[in-house]
Chains A and B, each alone.
Chain A
Amino acid sequence: MKDREVYRVDTGGLRGELPLTNSQKEQISEYIKLIEAVAPSKVGVVRWVDDRELNTAYSPGFDLLNIGTDVMPVIQSKRQGTLTANTRLTWKSSIAHELVGHREAALGGNTQLETPLEEAQASIRAARFSPSLSSTERYTLLRDGITRLYKADIKVRQVKNIRPIKSR
């Protein structure tokens, strides 16, 4: 029988699985404020779900941002071989992907109907328009976006002129 007192998210070793510390939560909250400073509005609801089995994700319909353990990248020593781009994304890149990538596109009515394209757009938007990211973080986000396009058999040239990746 399942022990209901113990919550454990399972990312298959692809992202962080440890509950966030208060210090990590403070840093994340500060970064959200930085993004909100130039966003059309503040995020409606932010829920910390790092003590349960929910994932970091943004739900446009409810303007809801869930932040789970997987906001953190995987600890590299636990993985073998080369890490994929979405595994390497830092917490800042993850938040940028959700807010600048998904949320601000949704607020502008620019959500893509196909999931791979929406995810790719979110990473490319985050890479280009998010504040306070290092060049490595931007590069990894771009790699993530391009990988998603490649997996969905979409050519970069098919999407390079879409408006939501031209301006924040």
Chain B
Amino acid sequence: MKNLNYEIQDWFEHDKFGVIVSIASPDLDKLADDEIKNLVGDRVAILSSTSHEKKWAKVFEIKIANSIIDKKNVSVCLGNSIELSDIKPNSDLVLSKKILV
């Protein structure tokens, strides 16, 4: 089992869905949408790179959007399982799924 960290690129509170965090990476661009959803799973952690504090959050929904040159934005809805203020700049989204290479 290997922890996978992706730097959180954006985070905000959606009126309807609660907290949403977004990640992107060339590694994710190579995967099919279902593989990404499987990789993210149903539980993630937010890891602060400065304090190294880790907070767990439930995944409610994962949406993957393709850019015009086929790069992927992965938006993960954490609902109200975490407060927006719990996410500090330079935090990582930690996925605890076994990587399939």
Question: Judging by beta carbons under 8 Å apart, are A54 and B14 in contact?
Answer: no
Question: Judging by beta carbons under 8 Å apart, are B66 and A52 in contact?
Answer: no
A-B contact number at CB 8 A: 87
Question: Judging by beta carbons under 8 Å apart, are B71 and A62 in contact?
Answer: no
Q: Which B residues touch A97, using CB under 8 A? A: 68
Question: Judging by beta carbons under 8 Å apart, are A70 and B68 in contact?
Answer: yes
CB interface residues, B 10-51, toward A, < 8 Å: 10, 12, 14-17, 20, 22, 24-26, 49
Question: Judging by beta carbons under 8 Å apart, are B10 and A62 in contact?
Answer: no
Partner of B24, one of A53, A59, A61, A62: A53
Partner of A15, one of B25, B26, B69, B77: B69
CB interface residues, A 30-84, toward B, < 8 Å: 44-45, 47, 49, 52-62, 64, 66, 68, 70
Residue among B14, B22, B63, B72 having the largest count of chain A Cβ atoms under 10 Å: B22
Are A64 and B24 also in contact (CB < 8 A) when A54-B73, A89-B68 are? no
A interface list, Cβ under 8 A from B: 4, 10-12, 14-15, 44-45, 47, 49, 52-62, 64, 66, 68, 70, 86-87, 89, 94, 97, 115, 119, 144
